[in-house]
A and B are shown apart, each in its own frame.
Chain A
Amino acid sequence: MIYFETAALSLFGIAFLLMGFMLIYIKIVKNRRSKYQKWKNIADLLVSEAIFSEDTDVDHVVFPINHRTEILLKNARFRKVLTKELLLAKKNMSGSAGLFLQKLYLQLNLDHYALQNFFSHKWHLKAKAIQDIGIMNLKAHLSKIYKQTNNKNELVRMEAQIAVIKLIGFDGLRFLDVVSYQINDWQQIKLLSELSYLPANNFNGIDNWLLSKNDSVVIFALKLIKSFHRFELYKEVEACLLHSSVNVRYQAILALEKIYNETTSEMLLKQYTIEVVKNQIAIVKTLQQMGSEEDIPLLISFLRNETPEQKRSIVRTIANISEKGLLQLRLHPEADIAPLSLIIKQIEGELSV
């Protein structure tokens, strides 16, 4: 029983130790917070001065740094605050303002510290350094960063892939030739949004990526075709409809919606009969855009055995193709029977809004 008492006492002991630590920590954080606000103001001032030094020549500009700031710059935590504000501004600002911000970053040797973190063994420091170099557009470090695009740590790899696009635009996409890890949907969204900032460019390589053994690369290539309307790759996209992965076929259908020609709808309706439900619904949806009155009889015939959800998308597509379609639908033997009658009513309501 003496064990119990010792155990209880030592547990309390640990609890009190933690409490002591907690209170000291709160005190430190509180001190830091008040200092942080002061530092943030100094940093903001530096940043806005850089943004508005427009009248000077970008190549030869030297920003005046007062003595107090110079001393502060030796403090790692102040540098962190300043770097954060600089990056934030750089993310929002382009043109000459963006260039001035980069100049200030370099003048204060902040790249030096980013590079230190880049060589760190801690993945989060490394990933953050890569992100910073990308945002600040430091092209000198391109090859170092490019090597990290297939890093085994997911976060490092993802940041490196984004950074190479920030540095060299569409050419950065060549990491897709070799990447062996899956590129998840979140990363694909980030990559596409990064590319959307760039001026349009007829970049090469998509046809190769469509043949990649990495399904996520194929899917991403199809999204590229869709986003950038790459009509010349029609045949290659069509070939993807034979792919073994359902998701690849799904993306191929979505891509065809943007690059279709007069034979596409007929081809997709043939595909319909051999597809899974999700892809069938996608096919019907794309026909809202590209379908013609000739497709309506076939669509109506699909109404026979499908689920209510599929019926709804078929009716919606028919109604969107032409008003005549809706008239033909009303002649359907089931047109007065639920659920088709209700579906037709809903679609009629949608069209009248």
Chain B
Amino acid sequence: MKILIAEDDELMLRTLEMRLKKDGHEVIMARDGRDALMRIEDSNPDLVISDIMMPYSSGLEIVGSLRERGNYIPIIILSGMGQEDVVLEAFKLGADDFITKPFSPNELSIRVKRFALVRPR
């Protein structure tokens, strides 16, 4: 699967990359919201994993503007903002899954696999 990770924390980004590559996925990295949106257009990934608080555009904005444009690529929000209303807003805008930090890399890997299974491609 081709996965795009949007995350502005370098260590997190590297960790996620290592984990997902180990699972055999192809990984594209974006360090801010604008970069992420551009790369999604360009390389058309199968799954997006995005942080919320990032430079330029937030993860929620990414979800919103993708759905607005009719792009229904699966999106997992991965964020330290685990409060009820943020989670609800993410789902309302069209996110498919929400993982709160601190998170377990193993759990993430399993959730990603689930998306690979449900996606008939």
Contact between chain A and chain B defined by CB under 8 Å: yes
Q: Which residues of A contact B (CB under 8 A)?
A: 44, 47-48, 51-52, 54, 85, 88-98, 193, 196-197
User: How many residues from B make CB contacts under 8 Å with A?
Assistant: 20
Task: Kindly state the separation between the CA atoms of A176 and B103 in the bound complex, as whole angstroms.
Answer: 29
Q: Is the CB of B14 within 8 A of A44?
A: yes
Assembly CA distance A90 to B80 (angstroms): 13
State which of B15, B82, B104 has its C-beta within 8 Å of the C-beta of A196: B82
Q: Find the A residue at minimum CB distance from B83.
A: A196
Check A95 against B100 for contact (C-beta < 8 Å): no
Residues of B within 8 A of A44 (CB): 10-11, 14
Q: Which of A47, A88, A89, A93 contacts B104 (CB 8 A)?
A: A93
B119 touches A (CB below 8 Å): no
Instruction: List 28 A-B pairs, Cβ < 8 Å.
Output: A44-B14, A48-B11, A51-B105, A52-B19, A52-B22, A54-B106, A89-B11, A90-B102, A91-B80, A91-B102, A92-B12, A92-B102, A92-B103, A93-B15, A93-B102, A93-B104, A93-B105, A94-B102, A94-B103, A95-B104, A95-B105, A96-B104, A97-B105, A98-B102, A98-B104, A193-B83, A196-B82, A197-B100
Measured CA separation A54–B109 after assembly (Å): 13
Per DSSP, are chain B's interface residues mostly helix, strand or loop, or mixed? helix
Other than the given A91-B102, A93-B102, A95-B103, 17 more pairs (CB < 8 A) read: A47-B11, A48-B11, A48-B14, A48-B18, A85-B11, A88-B9, A92-B101, A92-B103, A94-B102, A95-B105, A96-B104, A97-B105, A97-B106, A193-B82, A193-B83, A196-B83, A197-B100
Chain A residue nearest to B82 in the complex (CB): A196
Which one of A85, A88, A90, A95 has the greatest number of beta carbons of chain B within 10 Å?
A95
What residues on B are CB-neighbors of A91 within 8 Å?
Answer: 80, 101-102
Which residue from chain B places its CB closest to the CB of A54 in the assembled complex? B106
Shortest CB distance B83–A (Å): 6
- B13-71: which residues lie under 8 A (CB-CB) from chain A? 14-15, 18-19, 22
* B28 → chain A closest CB, angstroms: 19
The residues in B between 64 and 108 inclusive whose CB is less than 8 angstroms from any CB of A are 80, 82-83, 100-107
Residue pair A96, B106 in contact (C-beta under 8 Å): yes
> Which residues of A sit under 8 angstroms from B14, Cβ to Cβ?
44, 48
What are the residues of chain A within 8 A of B100 when measuring CB–CB? 197
Q: How far is the CA of A95 from the CA of B15 in the complex (A)?
A: 14
Collect the chain A residues with CB atoms within 8 Å of residue B105's CB.
51-52, 93, 95, 97
Determine the chain B residues whose CB is within 8 A of the CB of A193 once the complex forms.
Answer: 82-83
Rounded to whole angstroms, the CA-CA distance of A134 and B107 in the bound complex is: 24
A93 CA to B18 CA, complexed, in Å: 14
Chain A residues with CB below 8 A from B9, complex form: 88, 92
Q: How far is the CA of A85 from the CA of B15 in the complex (A)?
A: 12
A51: B residues at CB distance < 8 A: 15, 105
**Which of A48, A89, A92 gathers the greatest number of chain B CB atoms within 10 Å?**
A92
Q: Is the beta-carbon distance between A89 and B15 smaller than 8 angstroms? A: yes
Nearest residue, chain A, Cβ from B106: A95
Q: What's the minimum C-beta distance from B14 to chain A, rounded to whole angstroms?
A: 6
The residues of B that contact A47 with a CB separation of less than 8 Å are 11
Nearest A residue (CB) for B101: A92
User: Which residue of the partner chain, among B12, B18, B22, B107, contacts A95 with CB atoms under 8 Å?
Assistant: B107
A93 to B103, CA, bound (A): 5
Cα–Cα distance between A47 and B12 once the two chains are bound (Å): 11
Closest to A49 in B: B18
Quick check: B106 and A88 within 8 Å, CB to CB?
no
Considering the chains assembled together, what is the distance between the CA atoms of A97 and B105 in angstroms?
A: 7
B110 CB, min distance to chain A CBs, angstroms: 11
| B10: chain A residues within 8 A (beta carbon) | 44
Complex CA–CA separation, A223 to B105 (angstroms): 32
Nearest-neighbor residue (CB-CB) of B81 within chain A: A193
A48 surroundings in chain B (CB, below 8 A): 11, 14-15, 18
Residue numbers in A under 8 Å from B103 (CB-CB): 92-95
Q: Within the complex, what minimum Cβ distance (angstroms) separates B112 from chain A?
A: 15
B104 touches A94 (CB 8 A): yes
Q: Separation in Å of the A168 CB from the closest CB of chain B?
A: 17
**In the assembly, what is the distance between CA of A88 and CA of B101, in Å?**
11
